[in-house]
Amino acid sequence: MSNPDVPQPIVAGRGGPDTGPRDVLRDQQAPDNTHAPSTDRGTLPNMRFSFSDVHVRLQPGGWSREVTVRELPVATTLAGVNMKLDARNERGETGVRELHWHKQSEWSYMLSGHASVTAVDADGRNFMADVGPGDLWFFPAGIPHSIQALEDGCEFVLVFDDGNFTENSTFSVSDWFAHTPRAVLAKNFGVPESAFASIPDEELYLFWVPEPPGHDEDVIASPQGGLGEAFVYRLLAQPPIKTAHGTVRIADSSNFTASTTTACAFVEIEPGGMRELHWHPNTDEWQYYVSGEARMTVFAAEGKARTFDMRAGDVGYVPFAMGHYIENTGSETLRFLEMFASDRFRDVSLAQWLALTPPELVQAHLKLPDDLIARLPKLKPVVVHR
């Protein structure tokens, strides 16, 4: 007798039992791969990839892993990095992401712990701030910066505005020093070559350094002035848009002015709730699932649709203009980030569109009851609902 907890590829009399071999645990995590809703049709690319399925780069003081087009080929507009910097050790050191810069802009959401971030812009203005859970930072392309854990360590997700991004292509200060003749370094800094006798011979990337002493002791006054908290946004301090079954907070260039190439929504959905049927009219959507379990069906036109099961630590992706929803299928609050390579967050609600269209036209298309059409919300409906 078959186990009812093991999904079988049987839907409405189609298909038949899978007797193995099979990865039962994986099939149980993604049942809609095995027996998708009967409304799924056609062949669509994979739009889900887990950080748990990628190689972890282990370093003194921390680790990192990334999901790019190499792992998720459909995700061409954005790439993500999950990074951990270790807490204070017995020597009073914490993990640091060394001084570096990128060709792409860097956006980040703090998952846990605390860190100190620093930067200097092209006008010589410096920046330093402490960040904690729920905080964002954004460094424009080419701006040098660093990230160092405070006493409790930290973990965060980084998002870059290019699906082809890889941390392996970072411009690191140690790597540049290692590949510059010492005579040139001496001339540049106006000191003897002997001053560079101990520089690293390769990139440091992540390593241990003494814990930051704190802003009052560590601040360096720039003659050009400072940037305050220009590159940081306290997302969880933002009053959320509340609905009956969840909340949403939006950060883009309208309220986080530094973030000119990346916009986000942080969505929380209670068990049984749903992020409504909608689409984005300006760009693709890259998702990161912080907690909980979800189901998402993506409608791609041409009679094509595919359903994906999402879990904490997963990356999801929805190509430009494709309709979709996200439903909480678990027993805890679902939390996830919607990310966009855009300066502004934009979405179109299916329900609002129909509500603002002549009702007789809607009825002629969909044969909906008149009372249902009359109840459609003319304002954008709740972000999440049952």
CA separation for the pair 329, 327 (Å, rounded): 6
Task: State both tokens at 209.
Answer: 């350094």
Which residues, at least 6 apart from 26, have a Cβ–Cβ distance to it below 8 Å?
none
**Three-state secondary-structure class, residue 194:** helix
In 300-333, the DSSP E strands lie at 305-311, 314-318, 323-328
CA distance linking residue 337 with residue 287, whole number of Å: 5
Q: Using an 8 Å Cβ cutoff, are 320 and 228 in contact?
A: no
Of 98, 270, 338, 360, which one is the catalytic site residue? Answer: 338
Dihedral sign from CA coordinates of 297, 261, 381, 270: positive
State how far the Cα of 215 lies from the Cα of 306, in Å rounded to an integer.
Answer: 50
User: What are the residues facing 147 on neighbouring strands?
Assistant: 97, 117
CA distance 354 to 323: 14
Buried b / exposed e across 303-321, counting CB within 10 Å, b at 16+? Answer: eebbbbbbbbebbbbbbee
- Respond yes or no: is residue 338 known to be catalytic: yes
Classify burial at 206, counting beta carbons within 10 Å of its beta carbon; exposed 0-12, middle 13-18, buried 19 or more: buried
Closest CA to 320 of 356, 348, 295: 348
Decide if 380 contacts 276 (C-beta within 8 A). Answer: no
Provide φ and ψ at 175, rounded to 5°.
Answer: -65, -40
| Catalytic center residues | 338
